[in-house]
Amino acid sequence: MENKYIEIIKNCFSDSSQYLAFLKNLQTNYFNLKSEFWMRNFLLEFLNDKLPEGQKAFAEYPKCENNRRYDLSIFDKKKSNDDFICIELKYQFPYDFRVKKVNEKIEQDMKGIKNKKGADIFILIVAEWSASNDPLKEWNIKHQLSKYQNKKNDDWKKDVNNLLTCKYTSRDDWTVKTDIVKYHHFCCYGKK
Protein backbone atom coordinates (compact mmCIF):
# COMPACT_ATOMS: atom_id res chain seq x y z
CA MET A 1 0.00 0.00 0.00
CA GLU A 2 2.83 2.42 0.81
CA ASN A 3 4.28 2.09 -2.71
CA LYS A 4 1.67 4.42 -4.21
CA TYR A 5 2.58 7.06 -1.63
CA ILE A 6 6.30 6.53 -2.19
CA GLU A 7 5.73 7.21 -5.89
CA ILE A 8 4.02 10.53 -5.05
CA ILE A 9 6.88 11.41 -2.68
CA LYS A 10 9.43 10.62 -5.37
CA ASN A 11 7.56 12.86 -7.82
CA CYS A 12 7.56 15.63 -5.22
CA PHE A 13 11.30 15.49 -4.59
CA SER A 14 12.39 15.07 -8.18
CA ASP A 15 14.29 17.46 -10.37
CA SER A 16 11.09 19.21 -11.45
CA SER A 17 11.20 22.97 -11.99
CA GLN A 18 8.88 23.45 -8.98
CA TYR A 19 11.17 21.55 -6.62
CA LEU A 20 14.37 23.11 -8.02
CA ALA A 21 12.89 26.61 -7.55
CA PHE A 22 11.97 25.67 -3.97
CA LEU A 23 15.53 24.38 -3.35
CA LYS A 24 17.13 27.47 -4.84
CA ASN A 25 15.15 29.71 -2.49
CA LEU A 26 15.91 27.44 0.46
CA GLN A 27 19.63 27.32 -0.26
CA THR A 28 19.87 31.04 -0.94
CA ASN A 29 18.05 32.18 2.20
CA TYR A 30 18.37 29.35 4.72
CA PHE A 31 21.64 27.68 3.87
CA ASN A 32 22.85 27.81 7.47
CA LEU A 33 19.87 25.83 8.79
CA LYS A 34 18.77 22.23 8.56
CA SER A 35 15.84 22.19 6.19
CA GLU A 36 13.63 19.45 7.57
CA PHE A 37 10.80 21.84 8.45
CA TRP A 38 10.65 23.37 4.95
CA MET A 39 11.01 20.00 3.22
CA ARG A 40 8.17 18.56 5.30
CA ASN A 41 5.90 21.49 4.47
CA PHE A 42 6.75 21.30 0.76
CA LEU A 43 5.88 17.59 0.81
CA LEU A 44 2.66 18.24 2.76
CA GLU A 45 1.42 20.73 0.17
CA PHE A 46 2.44 18.44 -2.68
CA LEU A 47 0.67 15.44 -1.13
CA ASN A 48 -2.52 17.39 -0.56
CA ASP A 49 -2.44 18.50 -4.19
CA LYS A 50 -1.90 14.95 -5.51
CA LEU A 51 -3.82 12.68 -3.11
CA PRO A 52 -7.19 11.39 -4.32
CA GLU A 53 -10.36 13.02 -3.02
CA GLY A 54 -11.18 11.79 0.46
CA GLN A 55 -7.52 11.56 1.53
CA LYS A 56 -5.59 14.32 3.26
CA ALA A 57 -2.10 14.73 4.70
CA PHE A 58 -1.50 16.45 8.03
CA ALA A 59 1.74 17.75 9.54
CA GLU A 60 2.72 16.98 13.13
CA TYR A 61 -0.38 14.90 13.69
CA PRO A 62 -1.57 12.96 15.60
CA LYS A 63 -0.16 14.07 18.90
CA CYS A 64 0.30 11.28 21.41
CA GLU A 65 0.41 11.15 25.18
CA ASN A 66 4.17 11.67 25.35
CA ASN A 67 3.91 14.87 23.23
CA ARG A 68 5.55 13.22 20.21
CA ARG A 69 4.00 13.59 16.80
CA TYR A 70 4.37 11.99 13.41
CA ASP A 71 6.00 14.31 10.88
CA LEU A 72 3.22 13.59 8.40
CA SER A 73 0.16 11.39 8.37
CA ILE A 74 -2.28 10.54 5.62
CA PHE A 75 -5.89 9.90 6.55
CA ASP A 76 -8.63 8.44 4.41
CA LYS A 77 -12.26 9.39 5.13
CA LYS A 78 -13.35 5.83 4.30
CA LYS A 79 -11.13 4.30 7.01
CA SER A 80 -11.09 4.51 10.79
CA ASN A 81 -8.99 7.17 12.47
CA ASP A 82 -6.64 4.46 13.73
CA ASP A 83 -5.90 3.28 10.19
CA PHE A 84 -3.61 5.93 8.71
CA ILE A 85 -0.26 6.12 6.97
CA CYS A 86 2.46 7.71 9.05
CA ILE A 87 5.56 9.25 7.53
CA GLU A 88 8.76 10.20 9.31
CA LEU A 89 11.15 12.55 7.56
CA LYS A 90 14.75 13.20 8.57
CA TYR A 91 17.11 15.77 7.08
CA GLN A 92 20.74 15.00 7.89
CA PHE A 93 24.30 15.67 6.84
CA PRO A 94 26.73 12.86 6.00
CA TYR A 95 28.74 13.09 9.22
CA ASP A 96 25.59 12.89 11.37
CA PHE A 97 25.59 9.10 11.03
CA ARG A 98 28.86 8.91 12.97
CA VAL A 99 27.15 10.51 15.97
CA LYS A 100 25.52 7.96 18.27
CA LYS A 101 22.71 10.27 19.44
CA VAL A 102 21.63 10.94 15.84
CA ASN A 103 21.42 7.21 15.10
CA GLU A 104 19.47 6.64 18.33
CA LYS A 105 16.99 9.39 17.38
CA ILE A 106 16.50 7.91 13.90
CA GLU A 107 15.93 4.45 15.40
CA GLN A 108 13.45 5.91 17.89
CA ASP A 109 11.51 7.61 15.08
CA MET A 110 11.46 4.40 13.06
CA LYS A 111 10.03 2.42 15.97
CA GLY A 112 7.21 4.90 16.26
CA ILE A 113 5.50 6.79 18.95
CA LYS A 114 4.60 5.22 22.28
CA ASN A 115 1.64 2.86 21.95
CA LYS A 116 1.42 3.53 18.21
CA LYS A 117 2.81 1.86 15.15
CA GLY A 118 6.19 2.63 13.64
CA ALA A 119 6.55 4.77 10.55
CA ASP A 120 5.04 3.22 7.43
CA ILE A 121 7.32 5.36 5.28
CA PHE A 122 10.66 6.71 6.40
CA ILE A 123 12.21 9.44 4.25
CA LEU A 124 15.85 10.26 4.78
CA ILE A 125 17.23 13.32 3.02
CA VAL A 126 20.99 13.73 3.16
CA ALA A 127 22.39 17.11 2.12
CA GLU A 128 25.90 16.83 0.76
CA TRP A 129 28.32 19.35 -0.69
CA SER A 130 32.02 19.98 -1.01
CA ALA A 131 33.40 21.79 2.03
CA SER A 132 35.50 23.96 -0.28
CA ASN A 133 32.28 25.35 -1.80
CA ASP A 134 30.63 26.29 1.49
CA PRO A 135 28.99 29.70 0.89
CA LEU A 136 29.28 30.55 4.58
CA LYS A 137 33.08 30.80 4.22
CA GLU A 138 32.88 34.16 2.51
CA TRP A 139 31.06 35.55 5.55
CA ASN A 140 33.73 34.31 8.01
CA ILE A 141 31.14 32.44 10.00
CA LYS A 142 33.02 30.22 12.41
CA HIS A 143 30.40 27.50 12.93
CA GLN A 144 30.12 26.12 9.44
CA LEU A 145 27.83 23.30 8.45
CA SER A 146 30.64 21.91 6.30
CA LYS A 147 32.09 20.24 9.38
CA TYR A 148 29.19 17.78 9.10
CA GLN A 149 30.37 16.61 5.68
CA ASN A 150 32.52 13.49 5.52
CA LYS A 151 35.95 13.58 3.95
CA LYS A 152 34.98 10.33 2.24
CA ASN A 153 31.50 11.27 1.09
CA ASP A 154 30.31 7.70 0.52
CA ASP A 155 30.81 6.60 4.15
CA TRP A 156 27.35 7.75 5.14
CA LYS A 157 25.72 5.44 2.58
CA LYS A 158 27.07 2.36 4.37
CA ASP A 159 26.03 3.75 7.74
CA VAL A 160 22.48 4.44 6.55
CA ASN A 161 22.17 1.04 4.94
CA ASN A 162 23.18 -0.68 8.19
CA LEU A 163 20.81 1.46 10.23
CA LEU A 164 17.64 1.26 8.16
CA THR A 165 17.48 -1.86 6.03
CA CYS A 166 16.67 -4.12 8.96
CA LYS A 167 13.36 -2.27 9.56
CA TYR A 168 12.03 -1.79 6.05
CA THR A 169 11.53 -4.11 3.11
CA SER A 170 11.55 -1.68 0.21
CA ARG A 171 13.91 1.14 -0.60
CA ASP A 172 13.97 3.74 -3.35
CA ASP A 173 16.98 6.05 -3.77
CA TRP A 174 17.50 9.08 -5.95
CA THR A 175 19.66 12.20 -6.01
CA VAL A 176 18.82 15.77 -7.02
CA LYS A 177 21.74 17.99 -7.97
CA THR A 178 21.29 21.74 -7.78
CA ASP A 179 23.24 24.58 -9.29
CA ILE A 180 24.01 26.01 -5.87
CA VAL A 181 26.31 23.63 -3.96
CA LYS A 182 24.24 20.78 -2.61
CA TYR A 183 23.18 17.37 -3.61
CA HIS A 184 20.08 16.07 -1.94
CA HIS A 185 20.17 12.30 -1.65
CA PHE A 186 16.83 10.66 -0.91
CA CYS A 187 16.32 7.25 0.66
CA CYS A 188 12.67 6.38 0.96
CA TYR A 189 11.90 3.23 2.92
CA GLY A 190 8.53 1.51 3.05
CA LYS A 191 7.05 -1.57 4.63
CA LYS A 192 5.54 -4.00 2.16
pLDDT confidence bin for 115, thresholds 50/70/90: very low
- Phi then psi dihedrals of residue 24, to 5 deg: -60, -45
- pLDDT, residue 114, reads 42
Query: Lowest mean pLDDT: which of 19-33, 79-93, 133-147?
Result: 133-147
Greater confidence (29 vs 169) lies with: 29
How are strands ordered across the β-sheet holding 121-128? Answer: 55-59, 72-76, 85-92, 121-128, 183-190, 170-177
CB 57 within 8 A of CB 51: yes
- pLDDT, residue 63, reads 76
**Average pLDDT of the residues in 105-121:** 67
Closest CA to 13 of 98, 68, 70, 87: 87
- pLDDT, residue 47, reads 95
**Average pLDDT of the residues in 108-117:** 59
The residues pairing with 121 across neighbouring beta strands, listed in sequence order, are: 87, 190
Give the range with max mean pLDDT: 4-18, 45-59, 104-118, 162-176: 45-59
pLDDT confidence bin for 58, thresholds 50/70/90: very high
